[in-house]
Amino acid sequence: SGMEPGEVMTTHVEGPPPGSIFPIGTTKVKYEAVDECGNTAYATQTINVSDTAPPTITTVIPGTLDLNCEDDLSTITISATDLCSAVTDITYDVIDSRTDGSCPHTYTLTRTYSATDECGNSATCTSKVTIIDNVQPIAICRDELHIALTNDGLAEIDAAVFDGGSRDNCGI
């Protein structure tokens, strides 16, 4: 047989071959051993692979992000990767931390982003999103205004009468 005394020839018989990447779960691999006299024995190896590592959030989210009030918050997206499986669920939640600012339409949100892989492992990161109003309003006054005076030469005029379409980017 060309084998030395005491030598045993081992051969892979069943299951993924040596060097394979094993899937998550239990995999059985069967081997055959033959000695120089032709005696054969079989052994089965059980390989258990589990994924306990969370995914990695790959988007760099600044700790604090300033946006203007008309900016769209939904444009902030994240991506994630996982070593063992696909990332199946990426979500964000506005955590119960909305702090109103000193002006209308300005506030800070604490946002938590979460990524979950196929095995249920999760990773999170948190960011503060500050909504600001740093754009001056546009004041437009009516060009011409005719006002009738009372007999004593006075007039009572509401400021809205002078408004010719003034506006603000935050809708104020």
pLDDT, tens digit (0-9, with 9 covering 90-100), for 89-123: 776 655 557 778 888 778 888 878 888 888 888 88
Determine the pLDDT at residue 86. 73
Q: Which residues contact 155 (CB under 8 A, 6 or more apart)?
A: 147, 148, 149
The whole-angstrom separation of Cα 172 and Cα 168 is 6
pLDDT, tens digit (0-9, with 9 covering 90-100), for 138-172: 888 888 878 888 888 888 888 888 888 887 777 65
User: Any idea which of 61-70, 79-88, 153-162 has the lowest mean pLDDT?
Assistant: 61-70
Give how far Cα 156 sits from Cα of 51, 144, 151, 163, 166, Å: 76, 17, 13, 16, 21
The whole-angstrom separation of Cα 85 and Cα 72 is 31
Determine the pLDDT at residue 166. 82
Determine the pLDDT at residue 95. 54
pLDDT, tens digit (0-9, with 9 covering 90-100), for 6-55: 899 999 999 999 889 888 899 999 999 999 889 999 999 999 999 899 98
* Residue owning tokens 């400021």: 159
Is a pLDDT exceeding 70 seen at residue 64? no
pLDDT bin (cut points 50, 70, 90) of residue 74 is low
Determine the pLDDT at residue 123. 87
SS3 160: helix
Instruction: List residues bridging with 44 in a β-sheet.
Output: 30
The whole-angstrom separation of Cα 61 and Cα 81 is 15
Composition of the chain by helix, strand, coil, percent to 5: 5, 45, 50
Determine the pLDDT at residue 28. 96
Determine the pLDDT at residue 80. 86
Determine the pLDDT at residue 167. 79
Biggest CA–CA distance in the chain, Å, is 131
